[in-house]
Amino acid sequence: MAKPAYQLLLFSLLLMSATSMTFGQDKELDSLNNSLHKFSLQKNFEADTNYINTLNALAFKLAYYKTDSAILLGNKAAALSKNISYPFGEAEAYKNLGLTYNVRGNYDSAFIVYKAGLAIAEKNHLAATAGRIYHNTAIVYTNLGKYPEALENYFRALKMREESGEKLGQSSSTNGIGTVYFLEGKYGDAVKYYTKAMDLAKEIDYKRGIEAGYANLGEVYYRQGNYDAAQKNLLLALEVVKVTSDLETLAFCKNMLGSIYLKQQKNNDAIREFMESGLVAEELTSKEYKSRSLIGIGQAYLNMHKTDSALFYVQEGYKIANDIKFIELLRDGSEILSNIYESKGNDKQALFYSRQFKIFADSINNQQAQQVTANLTADYEYSKKELLLKSEFENKSTRQRWIIFSAFAGLFSSLIVVWLVYLSRQKEKRTNHLLQQQKTEIEKQKTAAENALSELKAAQTQLIQSEKMASLGELTAGIAHEIQNPLNFVNNFSEVSKELVAEMKEELATGNTQQANEIADDLVQNLEKINHHGQRAADIVKGMLQHSRSSSGTKEPTDINALCDEYLRLAYHGLRAKDKSFNAKFETAFDESIGKVNLIPQEIGRVILNLINNAFYAVSEKAKSLTPDTKGYEPTVTISTKKENDKVLIKVADNGSGIPKKVLEKIFQPFFTTKPTGQGTGLGLSLSYDIIKAHGGKIRVETKEGEGTVFIISLSLNDTV
Amino acid sequence: MKILVVDDEQDVRVLFEQRFRKEMRTGEMEFAFAFSGEEALVFMEQHNHEAVLILSDINMPGMSGLQLLEKIKQHYAAPPPIVMMITAYGDEENFNTAKRLGADDFLTKPVDFISLKDKLKSITT
């Protein structure tokens, strides 16, 4: 989670502590400029220490935002001081120049002028100035991550300030020592020095020192996981902020509190604190704090599983972090974004941000590794220097050799440590790279498999539809024939009835009522025939519509015998229409006691049609393969129904060639067909099997090679109506 | 003259009886009915040479009209009865097969009874 980079805040706090950068400053600058102008009207003003002091004061004011002017003024003050041998002016001028170079990030120049200033200050026992310079030097070393040097300078500054009795300075330097320990991860020492700095600030009621002390302690306790203590100190810091109105500390404390509440799963509290810190950040125009706050709010919403809100806030925060290239925030933001997308099921984005997270985390780890290496080297240099210094006061010769030996031993062991750190980082990198590769590969294969699956599903749907259409196509010819016949009867019987009416009129005219009555009887019979055949045609159309309907129908009480008969005729005529040479005998043996069975007629009809088609195909294949010797073969298909206890059996038998054993076990598999390519979909029996299963029934097959095959459907009669 | 009508549709009989009621009453035409090819052959066997004209459907279960035609033209050579084929599918293949097997005429459903009556009268007179 977000780790506030307090050190930055702290430095600016400390640097600013001597002066307040408010609107009052403009007035101060004006008055300084005015007095400079007044001095310039006097004689020999450049030899006036007051003039030099004013130059230094102005240079200090301008050090933060007009560095060119500050450098010009500092150099002038240093030169004039030298002319009149005014060490205080000269040392202060160097101190201000160092500060300006530090602001510019020009650390080498800063060290040179600080060194020059220190030499003059120490020679002339200017403890206060020396203290300030040591303190400022320590800040530069801290910025560079050279903690041992930073500590050394802070301690020297502290000693100087104790000599001069400056409490405020002592508090600042003690705070600085605490910060260095904090950065080194020595939290115990950090707490000790932060507390000491705060006590000193309290002695002189230095509000900004007190506020910084509480805020710093809050951060240390947060890092130690002591959230209660952290919260207590941050709230105390906020009490002081009420007096100082220091917005930066306010934003910092609110942000820290938000982070604490996140850790404690008090998500609503966290959102409130982050919101407030975000508002303050807005006022401060601090992009870092704004980004921190937004990301914090996003994490809180993610904890509450409000992924849309979480996404909104984290994206905003991430955008800002990207604007200011704040790696740590980019790392945290991408981690949370990855989690959000994962819980939203957006694997692609989740993967993208988890990769981003890895990149940012690596970059931070590398920085830290470099820091560790630098610190180890610095530690070694420092201890070597310390030992050499000590040896100056002690017996040299053998002892010195021992020192040099141990120094090299130290260097050697440091190098080993550095090497080990390097090796483990390399290994980790390789492993991570490998893992990343594997993850990408798995991800790729997963996508491919998913695509293949959805394509297969689409193909399957299409195949089922085409199987339906194929069987409909087989039916169409049969249906045309079946419909043609009743229509012919309807037409013929109506035509002949017209003639009969004319005849009847003639008979009635001649008074032959007996003949007229006979004709009337015929007319009634004809009308019945017309009605019967019209009904027949209507039934066929209905059946056709039911068959082609893609939605599965509903179960209804159905006369199984009629259903079998209907589909037998349809199948027969369909095959005859397709293949003129086809012929076979068909027989029916229906058990009239069955009554009605509850089933989906078009579905069971499709099964019966399929079995009959297969049977006709089998017998016609056998008929084609016959030699003249095996004459007398009569291709026959028999469909029979039978009631057996609580079951009804439908048997479709043929006297074809039977099914070979090795084929038998595959016949219900989808896409298995013995027909030539393009003639069968291989789905007929598979679909039949599914349909019967869905009806809670069974379908089995009995076959003898060379003698024929019987398919037996058994349906439960429990549903019988 | 005796005419044998072969069709698996039972109502064909009723229809013909009404359509040719006058001709039947005057004895001008005499009709017999068979409901399958097999049945037609049995009738031919039992009533040798009685039927001079056979009207047969092509699409029937079991023996088709074309098989029946082939058998009649083979077994009843002298004098061969006139065979007219009727089919619901007025396609070329059936027509050609029927012609090759010696069919005398080829009719498609729905049967135009007026022209059929004319044809039958021209043959019988």
pLDDT of residue A23: 42
Q: Which helix (H) or strand (E) holds B33?
A: strand B30-34
For residue B89, the model assigns a pLDDT of 67
Residue A7: band (very low, low, confident or very high) from pLDDT cuts 50, 70, 90: very low
The span from the CA of A74 to the CA of A100, in Å, is 9
Per-residue pLDDT averaged across A152-169, rounded?
Answer: 88
Q: How confident is the model at residue B27 (pLDDT cuts 50, 70, 90)?
A: confident
Cβ–Cβ gap A529/B11 under 8 Å: yes
Which residues in chain B are contacts of A487 at CB distance < 8 A? 110
pLDDT at A465 over 90: no
A413 — pLDDT class (breaks 50, 70, 90): confident
Under a CB-based contact definition with an 8 Å cutoff, are residues A143 and A11 in contact?
yes
Q: Is A352 exposed, middle or buried (0-12, 13-18, 19+ CB in 10 A)?
A: middle
Dihedral angle sign, alpha carbons of residues A159, A161, A163, A168: negative
DSSP assigned state of A551: S
Instruction: For chain A, give the percent of residues with pLDDT over 70.
Output: 85
pLDDT at res. A299: 93
Q: Which two tokens stand for residue A521?
A: 């009887």
Measured between CB atoms, which of A484, A526, A529 is closest to B109?
A: A484
Domain positions in chain B are: 2-124
A576 lies within 8 A of chain B by CB: yes
Is a pLDDT exceeding 60 seen at residue A392?
A: no
Decide if A485 and B15 are in contact by the 8 Å CB cutoff. Answer: no
Q: What is the pLDDT of residue A89?
A: 92
Stretch B80-93: mean pLDDT: 81
Question: Is the pLDDT at A12 greater than 50, yes or no?
Answer: no
**Secondary structure (H, E, C), A580-626:** CCCCCEEEEECCCCCCEEEECHHHHHHHHHHHHHHHHHHHHHHHHHC
Average pLDDT over residues A536-558: 71
| Global ipTM | 0.85
The pLDDT of residue A17 is 36
Could you tell me which chain A residue has the CA closest to the CA of B13?
Answer: A489
CA atoms within a 13 Å half-sphere pointing along the CA-CB vector of A268: 0
Q: Regarding the domain delimited by B2-124, which CATH topology (the fold level of the hierarchy) does it fall under?
A: Rossmann fold (3.40.50)
Q: Which helix (H) or strand (E) covers residue A637, if one does?
A: strand A636-644
Q: Which of A381, A378, A377 is nearest to A418 (CA)?
A: A377
- In degrees, rounded to 5, the angle at the alpha carbon of residue A629 between the alpha carbons of residues A627 and A635 is 65
**Residue A3 in contact with partner chain B when CB distance is under 8 A:** no
Chain B contacts in chain A segment 493-552 (CB below 8 A): 493, 495-496, 500, 522, 525-526, 529, 533
Looking at the predicted structure, is the pLDDT value of residue A1 above 50?
A: no
Mean per-residue pLDDT, A81-87: 90
Backbone torsions φ then ψ of B88, nearest 5 degrees: -80, -25
Percent of chain B with pLDDT over 90: 20
| pLDDT at residue A715, as a whole number | 92
Q: For residue A46, what is the DSSP state?
A: G
Of A578, A591, A638, nearest in space to A611 by CA: A638
**Residue A408 to residue A122: CA distance in whole angstroms:** 34
- What is the pTM assigned to this prediction? 0.43
Cβ A576–B14 below 8 Å, yes or no? no
Question: What domains sit in chain A, N to C, each tagged with a CATH number?
Answer: 1-15+41-165 (1.25.40.10), 556-716 (3.30.565.10)
Q: Taking CB atoms and an 8 Å cutoff, what residues of chain B touch A529?
A: 11, 14
Distance, in Å, from the CA atom of A485 to the CA atom of A583, rounded to the nearest integer, reads 20
Cβ separation B110–A491 shorter than 8 A: yes
